[in-house]
Amino acid sequence: MINNTNFEIMRTKHYFPNVVFEVWSNFFVKFVRSIDEIQRKKCIFSMFSSTSGRTTNSLFDNMTLKLFEWNHRELVKSPLNYMGGKFKLLPQIIPYFPKDINTFVDLFAGGCNVGINVISRKVICNDIINYLIDIFKLFKNNTKEESISYINSRIYEYGLTPKNEDGFKLLRNEYNTSHRPLDLFVLIAHSFNYQIRFNSKHIYNTPFGKENSTYNDVMKMNLDQFIDRLHEIDITFTSNDFRDVDLSGLNTDDFVYCDPPYLITTGSYNDGKRGFKGWGDNDEYDLLNLLDNLNERNLRFALSNVLCHKGKTNDILIEWVNVRGYNTYHLKKNYSASSYQTINRNKNASDEVLITNY
Ligand SMILES: C[S@@+](CC[C@H](N)C(=O)[O-])C[C@H]1O[C@@H](n2cnc3c(N)ncnc32)[C@H](O)[C@@H]1O
């Protein structure tokens, strides 16, 4: 029988077994049977509470996240609800990461879902969108109280509610002249689909989110946990094109993770119309060359990507993996979907992968 103390140790210790997702449900049943009544109620409650019974898939996603957390450490979700964010895939990705990492480099950090959760002595997060990186730097350097009270004061000052589009536009104008990083955070929290979009002159121009995007309780909780974690770990932020990040000082106990824009999908950060360069064949080749260089230096890397998506295939990537002989792990977008082969039969589905050289 697992008592309370053991249960806490199990939840927090930095160890995880090989999570075999095909049998997660068996594992779950065994786990639930092995804990006492009170803990069982707590577990079931924590799994169901954030899904509110919406869909079976979100319930399975949530259970898988919880399973991972019990054996690893509490996962923190980026407060930015970042498009293309890897939060839900972390339980499938992190088990493939090396166990002992000195410096973890996230070249395409985006919402920082990966860098904030990885276990390593030092974390370096890079993204080309400097305005995004400025937010993270401020969250790191401010006290939590300073950041949260600034955010609350701006929401109050501009009367931001799910209906007040004028207030949103006023703050957007203000941000586009002053570029105060936390004003951008407030704007994102009230923007259409929480998207971050700039025009070619770097004017933030995402439309108002109305009822669909608000600074809600979940976002507040994510922000709270995110800032705490930023303060707990040794993390630094840079804002460069990935080609300009200096990787020359890395050693064999360091690790580079890449989650670039996907060549065959479209996000607002890779369509080339948002004030930042898009993502095309040349970028793809440059990144693959960079990874080959790391491999030649015996440095470990992992690359997230899709091999196919809605009928398109990334032939550059497929050929590269085949020629180089790197390892490809097929991930499940929805854990309830049965197997990779089943996914492949659906021409609208994606084959989301993690490619590693170790
Ligand atoms: C898929 S998102 C990363 C999401 C992130 N892993 C997460 O979980 O939140 C890809 C990121 O690459 C960034 N990016 C695009 N082109 C880049 C470049 N040339 N150099 C560095 N970052 C770039 C985009 O701004 C975007 O934030």
Summarize pLDDT for 55-101 with one digit per residue, the tens: 556 666 777 777 777 667 789 999 999 999 999 999 999 999 999 99
Query: Which residue's alpha carbon is at the smallest distance from atom 2 of ligand 1?
Result: 110
Q: What is the rounded distance in angstroms from the CA atom of residue 276 to the CA atom of residue 12?
A: 39
Q: Are residues 140 and 209 in the same domain?
A: yes
Residue 354, in any domain of the structure: no
Give residue 78 CA to ligand 1 midpoint distance, Å: 14
Give residue 293 CA to ligand 1 midpoint distance, Å: 20
Q: What is the pLDDT of residue 270?
A: 63
Domain count, the chain: 2
**Which whole-number Å values give the CA distances from 338 to 24, 146, 342, 352, in the listed order?**
12, 46, 7, 14
Query: Which residue's alpha carbon is at the smallest distance from atom 12 of ligand 1?
Result: 108
For helices 37-49 and 24-34, the axis angle rounded to 10 degrees is 140
Residue numbers of the domain that contains 208: 133-221
Residue 292, in any domain of the structure: no
DSSP 208: B
Which tokens hold the place of 238?
A: 């840079």
Q: What is the rounded distance in angstroms from the CA atom of residue 214 to the CA atom of residue 218?
A: 10
* Domain final position from 166, 191, 221: 221
Residue 181, in any domain of the structure: yes
Residue 11, in any domain of the structure: yes
Q: What is the pLDDT of residue 90?
A: 95
Q: What is the pLDDT of residue 8?
A: 42
Summarize pLDDT for 115-141 with one digit per residue, the tens: 999 999 999 999 999 999 999 999 999
Task: Judge whether 315 and 288 are in contact, CB under 8 Å.
Answer: no
* Domain final position from 190, 221, 252: 221
Task: Judge whether 92 and 331 are in contact, CB under 8 Å.
Answer: yes
**Ligand 1 atom at minimal distance to the Cα of residue 80:** 9
Nearest to 205 by CA among 168, 178, 238, 244: 168
Q: What is the pLDDT of residue 68?
A: 75
Give residue 169 CA to ligand 1 midpoint distance, Å: 27
Residue 256, in any domain of the structure: no
Query: Which residue's alpha carbon is at the smallest distance from atom 24 of ligand 1?
Result: 269
Buried b (16+ CB within 10 A) or exposed e, 225-243: bbbebbeebebebbbeebe
Residue 198, in any domain of the structure: yes
Give residue 134 CA to ligand 1 midpoint distance, Å: 15
Give residue 230 CA to ligand 1 midpoint distance, Å: 19
Q: What is the pLDDT of residue 32?
A: 63
Residue 305, in any domain of the structure: no
- Please report, in tens digits, the pLDDT of each residue of the chain (358 residues total): 334 444 344 444 433 444 444 455 556 666 666 666 666 556 655 555 544 444 556 666 777 777 777 667 789 999 999 999 999 999 999 999 999 999 999 999 999 999 999 999 999 999 999 999 999 999 999 999 999 999 999 999 999 999 999 999 999 999 999 999 999 999 999 999 999 999 888 999 999 998 888 899 999 999 999 999 999 999 999 999 999 999 999 999 999 999 999 999 876 666 655 567 789 999 999 999 999 999 999 999 999 999 999 899 999 999 999 999 999 999 987 544 334 444 455 666 789 999 999 9
Residue 120, in any domain of the structure: no
Task: Judge whether 89 and 131 are in contact, CB under 8 Å.
Answer: no
Q: E-assigned strands of the chain?
A: 103-106, 122-126, 235-238, 255-258, 300-309, 312-313, 327-330, 350-356
Give residue 267 CA to ligand 1 midpoint distance, Å: 10
- Give me the DSSP letters along 227-278: HHHHHHS-EEEE---GGGS--TT--TT-EEEE-PPPTTS--TTSSS-SSS--
**Pocket residue to mutate for ligand 1, from 90, 105, 108, most atoms within 8 A of Cβ:** 108
Q: What is the pLDDT of residue 192?
A: 94
* Domain final position from 221, 250, 265: 221
Q: What is the pLDDT of residue 184?
A: 98
**Pocket residue to mutate for ligand 1, from 114, 126, 128, 291, most atoms within 8 A of Cβ:** 128
Give residue 213 CA to ligand 1 midpoint distance, Å: 22
Pocket around ligand 1: residues whose beta carbon is below 6 Å from it? 78, 82, 84-86, 108, 110-114, 127-129, 241-242, 259-261, 269-270, 279
**Ligand 1 atom at minimal distance to the Cα of residue 127:** 22
Q: What is the pLDDT of residue 228?
A: 98
- What's 138's domain CATH number? 1.10.1020.10
